[in-house]
């Protein structure tokens, strides 16, 4: 995340409004996706959609905390170190979760296409929930390790001080730099190898199949989109270097460069999730489309009003 508090009031206000607007739009879309999942029990026993809900909820939390951190750098840049630590740990955990969740979803598609007879036994709801829990644990461990390093290298009074809430200000030792480099290499290598392996295996299955290969080809396209999403997520890892290079050549546009790189690396990738499932998945799109219908919204409002009236008197049942 790249934040700056060097903007004048007008420029800062415009940037904050853009970020907040995009954050609200993304969370509203994702909120409709979650509502669709919760309202339709047909998705509750399908590991594919359960994993997708994990990704959507993870993105919603990440967007909320990331946007909050961005706005705070203009509205209230100096925060208590302990408060800043909670915000950054949450944002970092959800950020680390994204590639791991993508890897898990790719593995589920690999099992569904390459081992269809075993899919129901392997990808049960219970095992899917265990995988989701492990995903959050694995994503949280690096963030927790950063805090432990701070506790080991800083006095306890550090957490009562006011600091500019920016990760390098909180994690400012060489141990943090070395650890973060190892984290990035290990996590991204695992995810990249997983996506590559699952794609190759699904591609081989599609070529070997003598019958209809539509589902296999769709799974290939889904994993390719996962790969594209992963590449966009990886932009956040190279953003600091990109900022240095661009600012060196265009120093007068420093604040605009950091704003655009933050937008591209942290906000835009979250728009891909609705594209992958909500648009491409016919089953999900069919159920979700009803929540975009004005007619359905009017009906829901009328039903709500009727229920409120019935709370004070007995209403006749409709035959």
The three-point CA angle 212-213-216 to 5° equals: 145
Rounded to two decimals, what is the model's pTM?
0.81
Q: Higher pLDDT residue, 271 or 89?
A: 89
Q: Work out the burial of residue 88: count CB atoms within 10 Å of its CB; fewer than 13 is exposed, 13-18 middle, 19 or more buried.
A: buried
What SS3 class is residue 317? coil
Rg of the chain over Cα atoms, rounded to whole angstroms, equals: 23
Return the bridge partners of 80, or none. Answer: 162
Q: What residues contact residue 92 under an 8 Å CB cut-off, 6+ apart? A: 142, 143, 146, 167
Residues of the chain with pLDDT > 70: what percent?
82
Whole-number Cα distances in Å, 142 to 47, 92, 96, 315: 27, 9, 8, 56
Provide the total of helices (H) and of strands (E) in the chain, helices listed first.
12, 2
Instruction: With beta carbons less than 8 A apart as the criterion, state whether 105 and 58 touch.
Output: no
Homologous superfamily (CATH) of 9-280 is: Rhodopsin 7-helix transmembrane proteins (1.20.1070.10)
The pLDDT assigned to 6 comes to 57
Note the pLDDT tens digit of each residue in 285-317: 777 776 655 545 555 555 656 666 665 555 554
Domain spans of the chain, in order of start: 9-280
């Amino acid at each position: 995340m790249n934040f700056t508090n060097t903007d004048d009031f007008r420029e800062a206000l415009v940037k904050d409004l853009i970020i907040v607007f995009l954050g609200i739009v993304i969370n509203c879309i994702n909120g409709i996706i979650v509502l669709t999942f919760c309202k339709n029990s047909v998705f509750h026993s399908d590991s594919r959609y359960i994993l997708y809900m994990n990704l959507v909820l993870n993105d919603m939390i990440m967007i909320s905390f990331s946007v909050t951190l961005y706005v705070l750098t203009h509205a209230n840049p100096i925060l208590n170190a302990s408060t800043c630590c909670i915000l950054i740990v949450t944002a970092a955990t959800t950020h680390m979760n994204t590639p791991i969740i993508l890897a898990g979803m790719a593995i589920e598609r690999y099992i569904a296409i390459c081992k269809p007879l075993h899919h129901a036994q392997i990808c049960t709801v219970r095992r899917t929930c265990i995988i989701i829990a492990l995903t959050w644990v694995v994503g949280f461990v690096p963030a927790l390790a950063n805090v432990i390093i701070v506790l080991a290298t800083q006095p306890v009074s550090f957490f009562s001080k006011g600091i500019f809430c920016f990760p390098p200000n909180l994690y400012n030792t060489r141990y943090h730099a070395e650890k973060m480099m190892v984290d990035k290499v290990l996590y991204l290598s695992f995810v990249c190898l997983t996506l590559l392996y699952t794609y190759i295996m699904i591609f081989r299955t599609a070529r070997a199949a003598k019958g209809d290969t539509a589902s296999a080809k769709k799974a290939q396209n889904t994993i390719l989109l996962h790969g594209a999403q992963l590449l966009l997520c990886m932009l956040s890892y190279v953003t600091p270097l990109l900022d240095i290079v661009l600012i060196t050549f265009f120093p007068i546009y420093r604040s605009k460069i950091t704003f655009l790189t933050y937008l591209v690396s942290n906000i835009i990738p979250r728009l891909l999730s609705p594209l992958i499932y909500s648009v491409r998945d016919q089953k999900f799109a069919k159920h979700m489309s009803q929540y975009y219908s004005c007619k359905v919204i009017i009906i829901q409002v009328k039903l709500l009003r009727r229920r409120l009236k019935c709370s004070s008197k007995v209403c006749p049942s409709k035959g």
